[in-house]
Amino acid sequence: MEQNERLNYLVNAFLAETKEYQRPKEELSTEQKRALLRALMNVRLPKPMDPEVLRIQDEYLLERNRERGIHPYHEIPTVAEEGSQHPYGERISLWQGDITTLGCDAIVNAANNEMLGCFVPLHSCIDNCIHTYAGVQLREECDVKMKHLRMCYGNTYVQPVGLPLLTKGYNLPAAHVIHVAGPIVYGRLREKEKKQLADCYRNVLDLCRENGIRSVAFCCISTGVFHFPNEAAAEIAVNTVTEWIRENPDCMERVIFNVFKEEDREFYQKQLF
């Protein structure tokens, strides 16, 4: 089956799952079909999928991710190679791009406390993008783990700020996804939120150590819609990771600070160079 055939098959299969969305009356372009498939994946509740549909989804996403380009972490220069004098610069990279294209042991998802991904169709947040290119299995695994936690802690349980959740990466180039909910800043930035953000980075790295994960890419946790000031977030991220590597010198081969915006790149460069 060719890629366009897979795309057509999947659009029809996802539409057939629900009565809420009708088949388009006009022929769609490839880009429109991709957008429609993504939207249908975004709104789909966590549940098992027909094995044949799942097989074709995986074939489609693996090829789609290859088309988008994969960036293995060992091909990304360290900040030491770029001239940084940071004491652990040979283990740290600063990379600007799409985190869903990174090939490493784990990427970090800036999640919400429900841990089920973003349900807003075609939303540009990292949570939405990661779930889109991983496939529907990711939301299902998150749901299974959250249901287990609710059995332990009660039906109102949500994941606390700074406590990471580890899942497989499925069709992503990364082997795992580490989901963590960062602090939300309302008004003035307080010491409480600073500590919570530091906890996000430290707890993710502890989880990596416990699971033999030796390369991890961090997004800019809590910036954007969570309103953590970008420059302060970069300072906390670099300081916390630096301290953790100092305390755990043999546990991490590469930490990648992944940024998307130019302003974030400048803030991290200020901390690392």
Kindly give, in sequence order, each residue whose CB lies less than 8 Å from that of residue 131, ignoring residues fewer than 6 positions away. Answer: 41, 42, 117, 118, 138, 139
* Residue 83 in this model has a pLDDT that exceeds 70: yes
- Residues 171, 233, 82, 92: what is their CA dihedral angle, to the nearest 10 degrees? -60
pLDDT the model gives residue 18: 81
pLDDT top residue among 27 and 171: 171
pLDDT the model gives residue 25: 67
pLDDT the model gives residue 3: 97
pLDDT the model gives residue 19: 74
218, 251 in Cβ contact below 8 A? no
pLDDT the model gives residue 241: 98
* Residue 26 in this model has a pLDDT that exceeds 90: no
Q: What is the mean pLDDT of the chain?
A: 96
pLDDT the model gives residue 189: 96
| CA nearest to 184, candidates 162, 209, 153 | 162
20 exposure class (CB count in 10 Å sphere: 0-12, 13-18, 19+): exposed
- Please report, for the chain, the start and end positions of each structural domain, with discontinuous segments joined by +: 3-65, 71-272
Fold of 71-272: Leucine Aminopeptidase, subunit E; domain 1 (3.40.220)
Q: For residue range 225-263, list pLDDT tens digits in order.
A: 899 999 999 999 999 999 999 999 999 999 999 999 999
Model confidence at 24, pLDDT cuts 50, 70, 90, reads confident
